């Protein structure tokens, strides 16, 4: 299990929004590693759009991180399901 946890932390996934104008990179635990924002979406008079794009990109990356994490845990447990409440603390 410790190796699976280490592997999950090493996973990097990307989520984008706004046609790729906002990029969020997360590790397998869903912790942000990097953000990239195209200057064209930075409008001081409309910050809400940028906020929405960040949330959308994060959610896209988080979904992928959760899927990759589940795959890694499945490998570590030999395909056995963990009882409810056990496993990843996120």
Note whether residue 49 is domain-resident. Answer: yes
Question: How far apart, in Å, are the Cα atoms of 28 and each of 7, 51, 56, 88?
Answer: 8, 23, 18, 11
Which has the closest alpha carbon to 62: 22, 8, 25?
25
Predicted confidence (pLDDT) per residue in 31-86, tens digit: 999 999 999 999 999 999 999 999 999 999 999 999 999 999 888 878 766 555 54
Note whether residue 37 is domain-resident. Answer: yes
How far is 67 from 43, CA to CA, in rounded Å? 34
pLDDT higher at 19 or 76: 19
pTM given for the model: 0.80
Structural domain of residue 9, as residue ranges? Answer: 2-76
Looking at residues 12-17, what average pLDDT do you find? 97
Note whether residue 84 is domain-resident. Answer: no
Note whether residue 21 is domain-resident. Answer: yes
Count up the domains in the chain and report the number: 1
How far is 34 from 12, CA to CA, in rounded Å? 10
Residue 66, domain CATH: 3.30.1310.10
């Amino acid at each position: 299990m410790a190796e699976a946890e280490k592997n999950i932390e090493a996973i990097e996934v990307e989520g984008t929004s706004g046609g790729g104008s906002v990029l969020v990179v997360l590790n397998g635990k869903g912790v942000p590693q990097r953000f990239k924002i195209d200057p064209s979406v930075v409008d001081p008079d409309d910050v809400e759009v940028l906020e929405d794009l960040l949330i959308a990109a994060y959610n896209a990356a988080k979904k992928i991180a959760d899927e990759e994490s589940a795959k890694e845990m499945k490998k570590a447990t030999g395909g056995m399901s963990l009882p409810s409440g056990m496993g990843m603390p996120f």
